Amino acid sequence: MQIGQAAASGRRTGLRTAGRAFLVVGILALAFNLRSMITGLPPVFPELQSVLHISAATLAVLAAVPVLCFGVFSGSGAPLSRRYGEERVLCAALLLIVAGLLLRSLVPSALLFPGTIVAGGGIALMNVLLPSLVKRRMPERAGLVIGLYLLALSAGAITASALAVPVFTAAGGGLTASRLILGLWAGPAVIAVVIWLPQLRFRTMPEGGQARQVGALAMRRHALAWQVTLFMGLQSLAYYAALSWFPTMFRDRGVSAAYAGTLLALMNLGNAVTALAVAVLAQRARDQRWLAVMSVAVSGIGLAGAGFAPTGLAPAFMLLLGLGQGACLALGIYYTMARAPDPVAAASLSSFAQGAGYLIASTGPLVIGLLHTVTGGWSASVSVLLGVGVLQLITGWLAGRALTVPIG
């Protein structure tokens, strides 16, 4: 009898372990698709502008649209998950990415912006729900899994930025190459859908009563929620502004298109290095204030060097910038979990922080692009981003205190 019970217990333990492994692999597959559609375009922005016959202002708007979508659609994540379950909404979000990328690839003249909006909406849902899902289904490993999730996110960003110019060139340039670049990352999203299918048998959601009591809008009454939101928004503003325009900045200084794409990949490599480490450190620390100070300081040094130092030093400073950005991103995501008293509040805080935060962040690519168009140079743009870093330092310190939003 005891032998049979031990065997049954062993089988149950094995099944639980396999189930957790499938969940982690699924999360990593989803995370790989969170930035690739965005980072795959800036290295070839000048070529897209020429082939698609769009103005510099339109290009600036295109750079801002995905981040704006993150803000507009993030609020839909929590109510949709309460109705259908997080796993099913995440699968639907992947399908939106596939559909949006294919639409803008097939008819870029008419569907460039609609397709980007559809795909951006899918990413917005994933941005909100993935950290929430981790806290619900793997709370004891939340820091590690969030770190791995950010590592996969960075891997997608690195791959897309590094391959953009070689793929565009290999496709011969012109309209065919542009269509390929615009829709290329629908392929990995389809693979992620297949990997995620086993999770559809689950239906993770908050309990009805709690969910009704803690809405994302309720967070706006709390100063701590705003501190988390501003830190999230400001770090994203700086990241997406650099992501969108630094390849063009380096090309204006005489760097080749391929090398500019490599520098962007190097920045995202820095993101990957610190995203995992800082997520784990944040969970072990009593509070995260000094982690925030060091992360913002490293990011600021890298930003100043990338913007004002000779291009020969660009690899070192872009890597440094990426290290700081990855650390700030890890902290921003971690704050949405750690500053909430329970998973229900975490979902609402994540929705609020990413909704309002990404609306703030969407101004970055737009303002920096338009500022460059007006001034004809990059000094003013980089100086504005350094000013944003000061505000980010203040909000990161406040959000890093060992407190939780007083819900209830």
- Per-residue pLDDT band for 221 (boundaries 50, 70, 90) equals confident
**What is the average per-residue pLDDT within 257-284?**
88
- Maximal C-alpha separation, the chain: 81
- Per-residue pLDDT band for 206 (boundaries 50, 70, 90) equals low
SS3 state of residue 222: coil
Q: Would you say residue 4 has pLDDT above 90?
A: no
User: Token pair for residue 293?
Assistant: 């100070």
Q: Would you say residue 13 has pLDDT above 90?
A: no
Domain-located, residue 137: yes
Domain-located, residue 2: no
Domain-located, residue 23: yes
For the chain, the domain total comes to: 1
- Mean pLDDT, the chain, integer: 88
Domain-located, residue 1: no
Domain-located, residue 66: yes
Domain-located, residue 10: no
Q: Which domain holds residue 242?
A: 18-399
| CATH code where residue 31 lies | 1.20.1250.20
Domain-located, residue 12: no
Q: DSSP readout, 161-217? A: HHHHHHHHHHTTSHHHHHHHHHHTTHHHHHHHHHHHGGGGG------HHHHHHS-GG
Domain-located, residue 210: yes
Least confident among 27-36, 104-113, 177-186, 343-352: 343-352
The pTM of this model reads 0.86
Q: Would you say residue 209 has pLDDT above 70?
A: no
Q: Would you say residue 253 has pLDDT above 80?
A: yes
